[in-house]
Structure 1
Amino acid sequence: MSKAKRQNHMLLPGPWKMPLIGNLHQLVFSLPHRSLTDLAKKYGPIMQLQLGEVLAIVISSPKVAKEVMKTHDAAFANRPNVLAVEVMSYDNSSLIFSRYNDYWRKMRKILVTEFLSAKRIQSFKTIREEEVWNLIESISSSYQGLQINFTEKMSSLTYGITARAAIGKKCKYEKELISLIKETFILSGGFDVPDLFPSLKFLSFLTGTKPALEKMHRKLDRILDDIIKDHKKKRSSTSASKHEGSDPEDIVDVLLKLQEAGELDFNVTSNHIKAVTLDVFSGASETSATMMEWTMSELLRNPRVMEKAQAEVRRVLKGQKNIDDVDIQKLDYLKLVVKEILRLHPPAALIPRESREKCEINGYEIPNNTKVFINAWAIGRDTEYWIDADSFCPERFQGSLIDFKGTNFEFIPFGGGRRICPGISFALANIELFLSQLLYHFNWKLPNEIKPEELDMSESFGLSSSHPPRATSPSATSNRTTTLPVPPAPAPAPPATAPPPSPFQHPLRHRPLARQPTVPDPPLQTTAPPNHRASTSTRRQHPSPPDLSLSRIYLSEPSAHTIKSSFNDKPINEAAKARKFCICGD
């Protein structure tokens, strides 16, 4: 190899570095995925940063992402080992953060087969429908003036579905478990002193992050220990009564059975079971909640899309009370909405990898043990692949075969290659059912005088892009005291009304907006929607939407013209129907 070529291998482009801190000054006090996107516009799709003592490579284009996630996928199959992973992952037993090894491959296969296969997800159909319906009834039966925390309800919904599917039932620690998982995601979303300055690892106590993580870990460990003990007790009781197999096995049962059988090449320990169970709760429940919050935020901000999605749901499901998986498959536009949400707001804005060996990417030599961050947020807004990339337009996917399963590298909200998220189908099944129910049974609009384009969309950075948690509790004035009957076909929505629910998401939280009077929606656009592929003509660049931060929204009325009370089967009077339902996000 020539001297010039060897030098080229080492000369990755990147911004100027400061002594000691490197490029940290360009990332602090900002959202890293946005700052890195701006830097990539100057230094290119692959650039080098010095984060303290740590070398990091940032990938910001589909072409280079394909090299990392497909061509050299095995070389980049590790996850970086950071402080939060050391403390929370039960000796590197987490499938989300584990190194790529035989343990990871076999345990992931077990998880997919026993919990996340198409057959198993279909078997959770009744659980999904019951939990979603309970939430819809909870909203519909609220009285005027009742405080309703929509964020809490969203978390409770996704937790309820995940818990019943993963451990067979909800546990008594529901609120504590939800809170701890959220805190863990927030604390795990960045780098601490020992991550950036390994030589100063002994100073990790200075930031307070490690003690906070250790405290959360102890609390989570106590809850997970109780879950395992309950399952062991149930298995012992079931075996004694000789009715084994009468109840379907959940993932904890499967892992306990493997532990007892000793059939794997390694011993399945209680720590392994706890780590995988925690992965299921944190990955499945938080991803669904995050996606739902972004979806509702964008629908509130884009009344044209809201109206179109709602019209489809009510046309397809006309006259029905229950919505099942067969119905969901008919909702083509709703699926386009979900795709567009994933393009603009991927659950993980930055996808972390670490090289296991030296390799060459895009002509540059990447050393072993180099941290690599794939900017999925930037890739989903790459103007070389997406026309009007910052605009929310689900129609861009109409007639397109592009998907998020990891083969189209301009669209990687769930990652790609060996480390692609295995819970895609589980999350989508939850989101599509809940979204269709909300659009079917309720009409939604922004508070008075808040224009759709003024909806605050601020985000914060954690393990996924999201909003910082808020302590304020949302208030809601219910428009009915009833269970939801079959809504008659609703009259077409007035052209000037926007109808969606509230946004929230695990690290992405929403700030409450002030209550104000209603304003007409902007006129419907008549121009053709932007397509997936970018044209060669010059395009006006749309500014990035404001950071996602939730607000108060109104449930203006139930969709049914006649709603019967669950107590007396008499129609609720017009005054009751006219009550406003205001949901304030935390």
Structure 2
Amino acid sequence: MAAIITVDFQNCFIFILLCLFSLFCYSFFFKKPKDSRGFSELPPSPPSLPIIGHLHLLLSSITHKSLQKLSSKYGPLLHLRIFNVPIILVSSASVAYEIFRSHDVNVSSRGGAAIDESLVFGYSGIINAPYGDYWKFMKKLIATKLLRPQSLERSKGIRGEELMRFYNSILDKAKMNESVEISKEVMKLVNNTLCRMSMGRMFSEENGEAEKVRGLVDESYALTKKMFLVALLRRPLKKFRIPLFVKEIMSVSDKFDELLERILVEHKEKLQEGYQGTDMMDVLLAAYGDENAEYKITRNHIKSFFVELFVGGTDTSVQTTQWTMAEIMNNPNILERVREEIDSIVGKKRLIQETDLPNLPYLQAVVKEGLRLHPPGPLLVRTFQERCEIKGFYIPEKTTLIINAYAVMRDPDSWEDPDEFKPERFLSSSSAQEGEKEQAFKYLPFGGGRRGCPGGNLASIFVGTAIAVMVQCFDWKIKGDKVNMEETIEGMNLSMVQPLNCSPVPRTLSFS
């Protein structure tokens, strides 16, 4: 009898603990944001799991598709939650247009869980920097100094040399009957070009410098999705003072810091010797030394800029090129049309140059269609700094905003045959009607609003010229009838589950 009483007491005690725990979970995790105005409702919220809410959707390897499926069923403006953290999900051009038209400044901060002293995911970079004086200064510097048309014109020769190197690398493999992993070849092209444009030199292969940088970039990609989740959970984590991934992030940051400090010292010594450089590092060092600058940047600001350039500027162009080439190979009629256009404008006696791009409208349409179907960053993440109203719904302050650019650019209400690869949609007279601002927000490969990517023009040059070289100079053999187009998310970028690997066959004379 005593044993039975003891068991009953233990069960009762466990039951009480469970009740208390459930009450805690309800009050902490399910407590909904209060509407102090009292007359607006939150956007509709689809069914969620107990406690974790919609977390399982964001942990998926195809997050963009999971969210797209959710929106197609429940609507283009949804309220989600992860534990007690509110999220607004946007999946249509019309809602995106209203946000960027009326609330652009309000959503011009990312609100991520940045680590102040880190060069990776830190506030000294422009990606995570709050909307304010520093961010405005760097945005202006990029637009007027680093990536302005005159600067790109001066560095055109560098890009031409690296494009020839890219061509010769593929040609060497073709002569030896070797297959080519497209992403690796394009990665070398973009990395080498960005390094020369930004620092006046490439990372050395001989002393392992280039391999070290590629390793650091890969480590940074691996941390990106983790940081995305940390950003979404920043409030409960902060409440319980739980630091996540700090050691990993600071390890990568310290390695980048050591490398970039050495390059900064090299650059400064060259300038002291009378070298008159015009690359990006020269511009940033000049701003660093300018006592009358609108904003006094630090060495960490300069280093963070280059970290973001290597991490964010490389993989986006690589993935877009790979996806677009895969689409071209799966559509022989499109491949033939691109090739005919290049042959008619460029001919077969010289390699394509970036100055040819304006005269190749179909090639440009192919690149745009590749970006539409396979945006490098399918999810755009921002934070509502202040409460507001969208489409009649109440949005609390500090709410995370996720715009599913992937879903927006495949929305059947905005695009005819949205899942088909049709470059012609960017050629017809209908493209002239795209002047309407609302229509512009149905195409978001580089983001939108004032936090849109400032390097979109340069990325288009990288992708356009790389594809042109591969189409102009080579035929391509693939295994099977079609390229596998299965998608996954690496970091926060849209990647191919099976990287594009194919065999080149030369179709032109060698160019010197």
User: 1:425 — aligned with what?
Assistant: 457
Match of 1:459 in 2: 487
CA 406–189 in structure 1, closer or farther in 2 if over 3 Å, else same: farther
Alignment deviations for residues 71-96 of structure 1 (CA, whole Å, 9 cap, x no partner):
21111111121257874447501112
- Residue type at the aligned position of 1:44: G
Contact map agreement 2:488 2:497 (CA 8 A) in 1: no
Q: Encode CA deviations 1:454-490: one digit per residue, 9 max, x unaligned.
A: x222222245433xxxxxxxxxxxxxxxxxxxxxxxx
Distance 2:92 2:137 in 1: 32
How far 1:407 moved relative to its partner? 6.9
- Change over 3 Å in CA distance of 1:87–1:192 after alignment to 2: farther
Instruction: Provide closer, same or farther for how the CA distance between residues 187 and 316 of structure 1 changes in structure 2, counting only shifts above 3 A.
Output: same
Structure-to-structure mapping, 1:367-386, within 5 angstroms: 367-386=396-415
Aligned length: 469
Kindly indicate whether residue 151 of structure 2 is the aligned counterpart of residue 120 of structure 1.
yes
Superposed CA deviations along residues 511-566 of structure 1, whole A, max 9, x for unmatched, are: 2xxxxxxxxxxxxxxxxxxxxxxxxxxxxxxxxxxxxxx343222x2113xx4698
Instruction: Check conservation: 1:407, 1:416, Cα contact below 8 A.
Output: no
Cα shift at 1:122? 1.9
| 1:79 is aligned to 2:27 | no
User: Which whole-Å CA distance do the structure 1 matches of 2:262 and 2:203 have between them?
Assistant: 9
Matches of 2:37 and 2:501, distance apart in 1:
58
Retained in 1: the 8 A contact 2:120–2:304?
yes
Alpha-carbon deviation of 1:426? 0.8
- Give the match for residue 366 of structure 2: 337
Contact 1:336/1:395 (<8 A) preserved? yes
Kept in 1: contact 2:78–2:90 (CA 8 A): yes
- Looking at structure 1, the residues matched to 216 and 115 of structure 2 have their Cα atoms a distance apart, in angstroms, of 14
Answering whether residue 485 of structure 2 is matched by residue 553 of structure 1, we say no
In the TM superposition, 1:115-194 aligns within 5 A as 115-142=146-173, 143-144=175-176, 149-172=181-204, 173-190=209-226, 191-192=228-229
Matched-pair contact (CA < 8 Å) for 1:158–1:285: yes
Contact 2:115 2:121 in 1 (8 A): no
Amino acid at match of 2:212: E
Question: Which of 463, 471, 474 is the equivalent residue of 1:442?
Answer: 474
Which position in structure 2 is the counterpart of 1:584?
none
Which amino acid letter does the alignment assign opposite residue 346 of structure 1?
P
- Is the CA contact (8 Å cut-off) linking 2:321 and 2:467 kept in structure 1? yes
Q: Using structure 2 for the length normalisation, give the TM-score.
A: 0.85
Deviation at 1:367, TM superposition (A): 1.5
Q: What are structure 2's unaligned runs of at least 5 residues? A: 1-33
Within a 5 Å distance, the mapping from 1:368-517 to structure 2 comes to 368-399=397-428, 400-401=431-432, 402=434, 408-447=440-479, 450-452=480-482, 455-466=483-494, 508-511=495-498
Change (3 A) 1:145 1:554: closer
Give the C-alpha shift of residue 18 in structure 1.
3.1
User: 2: CA distance between counterparts of 1:304 and 1:167?
Assistant: 41
8 Å Cα contact 1:324-1:433 kept in structure 2: yes
Output the CA distance in 2 between the equivalents of 1:565 and 1:161.
20
One-letter amino acid matched to 2:83: G
**What is residue 329 of structure 2 aligned with on the other side?**
300
**From 226, 234, 237, the counterpart of 2:273:** 237
Counterparts in 2 of 1:194 and 1:558: CA distance versus 1, 3 Å: closer
* 2:235 partner amino acid: P
Cα-to-partner distance string for 1:355-381 (whole Å, 9 max, x where unaligned): 121211111121211110111000000
What fraction of aligned residue pairs are identical, expressed as a percent?
32
Which protein has the bigger helix share? 2
Cα drift, residue 54 of structure 1: 1.5
Secondary structure of the residue aligned to 2:106 is helix
1:115 maps to a residue whose letter is: L
Q: Distance in 2 between matches of 1:443 and 1:133?
A: 18
- State the match for 2:345 in structure 1: 316
Cα displacement string for residues 222-273 of structure 1 (whole angstroms, at most 9, x for unaligned residues) = 11111211111111222xxxxx53xx32222122222222222443211111
Structure 1 match to 2:123: 92
Equivalent residue number for residue 11 of structure 1: 42
CA drift of 1:216 comes to 1.4
Higher relative contact order, chain-length normalized (CA < 8 Å, sep 6+): 2
Question: How many Å separate the matches in 2 of 1:405 and 1:189?
Answer: 31
**Where in structure 1 are there 5+ consecutive unaligned residues?**
239-243, 467-507, 512-549, 567-586
How far apart, CA to CA, are the structure 1 residues paired with 2:125 and 2:333? 42
How many angstroms apart in 2 are the aligned matches of 1:15 and 1:423?
36
SS of 2:266's equivalent?
helix
* Cα distance, 1:14 vs structure 2: 1.2
| 8 Å CA contact 1:406, 1:415 repeated in 2 | no
Looking at structure 1, the residues matched to 511 and 135 of structure 2 have their Cα atoms a distance apart, in angstroms, of 52
3-state SS of paired residue (1:76): coil
d(CA) in 2 for partners of 1:404, 1:295: 27
Aligned CA distance change for structure 1 residues 49 and 84 (closer, same or farther; 3 Å): farther
**1:196 corresponding residue in structure 2:** 233
The partner residue of 1:213 within 239, 249, 255 is 249
CA separation of 1:181/1:93 partners in 2, compared to 1, >3 Å: closer, same or farther? same
User: Would you say the 8 A contact 1:155–1:178 is kept in 2?
Assistant: no
Whichever residue aligns with residue 158 of structure 1, its letter is V
1:218 is displaced (CA, Å) by 1.6
Q: CA deviation at 1:53?
A: 3.1
Cα deviation digits, residues 283-336 of structure 1 (max 9, x gap): 332222121111111112222211211222122222331322332221111111
Q: Which amino acid aligns with 1:299?
A: I
Which amino acid is 1:38 matched to? Answer: K
- Distance across 2 between alignment mates of 1:286 and 1:100: 25
Q: Does the 8 A contact of 2:178 with 2:503 survive in 1?
A: no
Please report the RMSD computed on the Cα atoms of aligned residues, expressed in angstroms: 2.7
Between stretches 345-354 and 303-312, larger displacement belongs to 303-312
Structure 2 letter corresponding to 1:159: N
Q: 1:579 corresponds to which residue?
A: none
How far the C-alpha of 1:200 sits from its partner, in A, is 3.5
Could you tell me which residue of structure 1 aligns to residue 262 of structure 2? 226
Q: CA deviation at 1:148?
A: 5.2
The CA deviation at 1:418 is 0.7
Partner letter of residue 558 of structure 1?
P
Provide, for residues 109-154 of structure 1, a one-character-per-residue CA deviation record: whole Å limited to 9, x for no partner.
1122221111211222111111011111122123536575543222
TM-score (structure 1 length as normaliser): 0.75
Q: Which amino acid aligns with 1:445?
A: K
Task: Judge conservation of contact 1:155–1:286 (CA < 8 Å) in 2.
Answer: yes
Between 338-347 and 295-304, report the one with greater CA deviation: 295-304
1:204, distance to aligned residue in structure 2 (A): 5.1
Distance 1:406 1:177, change over 3 A: farther
